[in-house]
Amino acid sequence: MPLRFELGEDAEASLAFAYSPLLEAVLSLHVLTVPKHHALQHQWVRASRSLPPVLKREITALSFLYRWTIPDCILPSSVTGYDEFDGGLAQLRSLRPDVAAFEFLRPLWDHGGGVRPQRRRILGDSAVRAHALKRAGTIGAGARGAATLLFDDPAALLARFASLLEAYWAEAFAAEWRQIEPSLAESVVDAGRRIARDGVYGFLTGLAPQLRIEPGNTEFGLDIPHHHRVALHADNPLLLVPSVYVWPHVRINCDPPWPLVLVYRAPHLVESLRHATRPELVRTLRALADPTRLRILQQVARRPRSTQELAPLVGLSEPGTSKHLRALAEAGLLERRREGYYVVYSVVPERLETLSLDLRRLVAPTQGRS
């Protein structure tokens, strides 16, 4: 059985919403450790090249805490208000060292959820230690050295992680948070509007591609090898957390004692994917600034066509037609598929629909906002 959440009779009361500066900072550290998986955050990766070398070394040394997954102990709660970074950091620092060590161990050794094993027994297991240090060692000697603190001095590792987050926040992420917090706040308000308009299941359907909604049922969840069924209700809600830095992943926790949390991509990220960037728009306009390519686009818009079919219609050789088709495809205006011997081109309607808006947003940004 995969992971499934069961909504209670009052479905709306089974959900709560929040966003967290501490969580977002840790998710952004994950982006810095595996930047090639996070194309939408490439600008942040480039900006972070200017971080002090000492801070960058510490980010790498402690990256086993956020490279593969993140500790559940940094997740926000559904029973508190909207936390400030300092409050979240203070809460992290207040953890008992053995609790922190067990949570910090999970990215290196997963206990599998369900019934939680005894912390002391696991942390004292030589096989677990060897496995964790070997995995941390794949990052480097610094990470392996830091991971030994899980077993030898967890209080020192907790203090070191908290100090890293504090320095990273002061050096870089506080300014970034000021930029993204309004969008995250709007995401929460937008979620309320969508639930009021479309109902809980209508809202959940567009939340994340990985989320599976059971039609005509009261369940939703993820198809992952984590067999767990969780009943949601007003006293045990699922906290939905929009995030800029979680994409392309979905982060989830369903194991006590930490909150039930689903971290999903903020809606404005999805919206931004529908609009071309300046270089993309220039490439598109350049592709359209040719009478022959416009004629080709008109012919393909009527119905999908192959190069061989288009060439006599536009009065070109097949190689010449192919060259123009390639330019239109590279601009995102056409897509191609193979049908036996032939390559058939068809229009990408979404790209044509957003072209006017993209141009208006570039020329007059304030008028192009919807």
With respect to residue 183, please indicate whether it lies within any of the assigned structural domains: yes
Burial class from Cβ neighbours inside 10 Å (0-12, 13-18, 19+) for residue 115 reads exposed
With respect to residue 321, please indicate whether it lies within any of the assigned structural domains: yes
pLDDT of residue 325: 93
- Which of 223, 248, 273 lies at the terminal end of a domain, its last residue? 273
Same domain, 157 and 49: yes
Same domain, 301 and 265: no
Burial class from Cβ neighbours inside 10 Å (0-12, 13-18, 19+) for residue 69 reads middle
Same domain, 236 and 159: yes
Average pLDDT over residues 38-46: 89
Say how far apart CA 281 and CA 76 lie, in whole Å. 39
Q: How confident is the model at residue 369 (pLDDT cuts 50, 70, 90)?
A: very low
pLDDT of residue 368: 42
Lateral strand order in the sheet of 261-265 = 15-17, 238-243, 261-265, 251-253
With respect to residue 370, please indicate whether it lies within any of the assigned structural domains: no
pLDDT digits (tens, 9 = 90+) for 267-293: 877 555 445 566 777 888 888 999 999
Same domain, 115 and 179: yes
Q: Please give the residue that has the higher pLDDT: either 335 or 160.
A: 160
pLDDT of residue 117: 60
With respect to residue 368, please indicate whether it lies within any of the assigned structural domains: no
Q: Which domain holds residue 197?
A: 3-273
Same domain, 75 and 126: yes
- Which of 243, 273, 303 lies at the terminal end of a domain, its last residue? 273
Same domain, 251 and 285: no
Same domain, 159 and 178: yes
Same domain, 233 and 290: no
Same domain, 254 and 137: yes
pTM over the 0.75 mark: no
Same domain, 233 and 288: no
pLDDT of residue 370: 40
Read off the tokens for 271. Answer: 């919206």
pLDDT digits (tens, 9 = 90+) for 7-40: 888 889 999 999 999 999 999 999 999 999 898 8
Say how far apart CA 240 and CA 207 lie, in whole Å. 10
With respect to residue 369, please indicate whether it lies within any of the assigned structural domains: no
- Return the CATH number at 355: 1.10.10.10
Number of domains in the chain: 2
pLDDT digits (tens, 9 = 90+) for 200-251: 888 887 788 788 886 666 788 888 777 788 999 999 999 999 999 999 899 9
Average pLDDT over residues 164-188: 93
Instruction: Concatenate the DSSP letters of all residues of 34-98 into one string.
Output: SGGG-GGGHHHHHHGGGS-HHHHHHHHHTGGGTSS---GGG---TTS----HHHHHHHHHTS-HH
With respect to residue 210, please indicate whether it lies within any of the assigned structural domains: yes
- Which of 249, 273, 297 lies at the terminal end of a domain, its last residue? 273
pLDDT digits (tens, 9 = 90+) for 99-132: 999 999 989 997 665 455 688 889 999 999 999 9
With respect to residue 247, please indicate whether it lies within any of the assigned structural domains: yes
Give yes or no for residue 333 having a pLDDT over 50: yes
With respect to residue 265, please indicate whether it lies within any of the assigned structural domains: yes
Residues near 34 by beta carbon (within 8 Å), at least 6 away in sequence: 67
Same domain, 132 and 206: yes
Same domain, 110 and 77: yes
The fraction of the chain above a pLDDT of 70, given in percent, is 91
